[in-house]
Amino acid sequence: MINGIVNVLKPTGMSSHDVVGQLRRIYHMKKVGHAGTLDPLAAGVLPVYLGQATRLIEYGDSNIKQYRAEFTLGLATDTEDSTGEVVAAAPLPELSVEDIKTALEMFHGEIEQRPSRYSAININGVKAYKLARQHADFTLPGRQVTIYDIRLLSYDAGCGVFDVTCSQGTYVRSLIRDLGEALGTYGCMTYLVRIKAGLFDIDEAATLEEIEAEPMRYVLSVDTAIQELRKVTLPAAGCASLLQGRPVPFAGKGLPPDVVLRIYNPEDKLAGIARFDKEHHVIRPHKMFADVL
């Protein structure tokens, strides 16, 4: 079995699930998953995990994301992007570039965002977008997200482009919806490119055609997505104890409680993920690999 991560340049028109299906075919394996869903309208970085690497998706999807988004003001759609049906329209106010910049700055920092009804959020085990397509009556609660940086690149006659760096769980089309409201009109996303997802960059992403031509060339090591976690190297006996579910004594000087660690054996191979129990000064296993990667 192949264990690793592929930084895929997802094309517009394909769902993230479609991309996973393509990689299952290319690598002749079923155990494939992706981090950070991209809508069919969106393109850009989509980290896809192969084999045992799929167990690390939750860590690889918790990092900061960077997007470039195109938007149109004066229109609202049911999906909050240009793939949906227009549900409202309004005359475009006279707005300058400075007006747009000022409005965007309002979203800088920690904000509460109401996700799109056409999101992939689970509601009682069902994706919100499926319920929305069935015209079900439901409300998604607001969530705290962080906008680390947001910059207008261009704006003219109701159409603009901005770059945004944000936390996991941020919906850019909902951000554009709220931007429209802040400007006294409506807002609709017309295109989206994910430039970065944690340590994965669009400049290093490979197209499906490139991957199919040279599959193994683009398989990155399993721990590529978790480099931000604290690294701890343990003796072989310590790694074996964690694999067997037993805690391992560890001083952990200077480490905060419950910090997540990436554990390596003496040969510098990834043995798994563990947590530091500061109260008892031990490392407790969380996700260990029977076959050291």
Same domain, 26 and 72: no
Does the active-site annotation cover 149? no
Which amino acid, 147?
I
Distances (CA, A) of 196 to 9, 64, 130, 160, 204: 11, 8, 28, 20, 10
Band (137; pLDDT cuts 50, 70, 90): low
* Domain hosting residue 249, numbered range: 229-288
Q: List, in order, residues 6 or more apart from 94 with CB less than 8 Å away.
A: none
Same domain, 207 and 126: no
pTM: 0.89
Nearest to 11 by CA among 45, 35, 36: 45
Same domain, 45 and 81: no
Band (119; pLDDT cuts 50, 70, 90): low
Which of the residues 39, 61, 178, 223 is marked catalytic?
A: 39
Same domain, 132 and 209: no
Same domain, 142 and 262: no
Look at the chain and report how many structural domains it folds into.
3
User: What pLDDT sits at residue 140?
Assistant: 74
Same domain, 118 and 182: yes
Residue 274 inside a domain? The answer is yes
Same domain, 80 and 123: yes
Same domain, 69 and 191: yes
Q: Is the pLDDT of residue 244 over 70?
A: yes
Q: Is the dihedral of CA 88, 42, 173, 35 positive or negative?
A: positive
Same domain, 155 and 276: no
CATH number for the domain that contains residue 24: 3.30.2350.10
Residue 293 inside a domain? The answer is no
Residue 127 inside a domain? The answer is yes
Average of pLDDT values for 125-143?
72
Average of pLDDT values for 200-213?
97
120/158: higher pLDDT = 158
User: What pLDDT sits at residue 175?
Assistant: 96
Number of alpha helices (DSSP H) and beta strands (DSSP E) in the chain: 7, 18
Residue 38 inside a domain? The answer is yes
Same domain, 185 and 218: no
- Residues of the chain with pLDDT > 90: what percent? 77
Residue 161 inside a domain? The answer is yes
